[in-house]
Amino acid sequence: MSRSFNRKQEIYKIDWQLPAVSSSASAHHINRDLFVLSYGALVAQLCKDYERDEDVNKNLDSMGYNIGIRLIEDFLANTGIKKCRSYNETVDVIAKVAFKMYLGITPTMIGGNDGGNSFSLILDANPLDDYVEELPPGRSSLSYCNLLSGIIRGALEMIHLPADVTFIQDRLKGDDVTEIGITFLQKSDEKKSKRNK
């Protein structure tokens, strides 16, 4: 009888020594690392498959869009965030919650102070280009991280906020920072007037 009692104590000791990280958080960390490591191979393969940079950029954006329309469900389920009241709040959630959750970084948000519909996210660090020093020779118009703009565009479209998302600056092209521009296609005034009808 004393043996079974000791055995139960050992089982409880093991449970207490488990890391205090949720399985969801550790899964996101593993997914992020796997994604970052395999992303370079994906871009390299697209560069082999397509001669023109515009075709590679288009394919990266399309892949990102398809990821974004599925990723928004995971994001909303894991964060419990309710509907944002403004474009400013939406971009703030993208910068402070979504980027942190999936890529482990927090970009700086610029714009939107005047109630407009154009914003920029400044990425001081971009995990997707951590292992890349420069663009391949002859690929000066390649938007290496164009997948991110597709992801943002797809996720926003799924919550009925169509937007144009493009890279404005890119460190791989010699700029000081990486900047993603987000322009919502509906003015916030139009959005309010449609609700009132």
What are 63-115's pLDDT values in tens digits?
999 999 999 999 999 888 888 889 999 999 999 999 998 888 999 999 866 66
Mean pLDDT in each 10-residue stretch from start to end of the chain (197 residues)?
50 37 50 80 93 96 96 91 90 93 91 80 90 86 95 96 95 92 79 49
* pLDDT in the model for residue 167: 95
**177 near 125, Cβ under 8 Å?**
no
- For residues 101-134, one letter each, b for 16 or more C-beta atoms within 10 angstroms of the residue's C-beta and e for the rest, the string is bbbeebbebebbeeeebbbbbbbeebbbbeebee
DSSP state of 98: I
Please report the domains of the chain, with CATH numbers, ordered by start residue.
32-184 (3.30.1380.20)
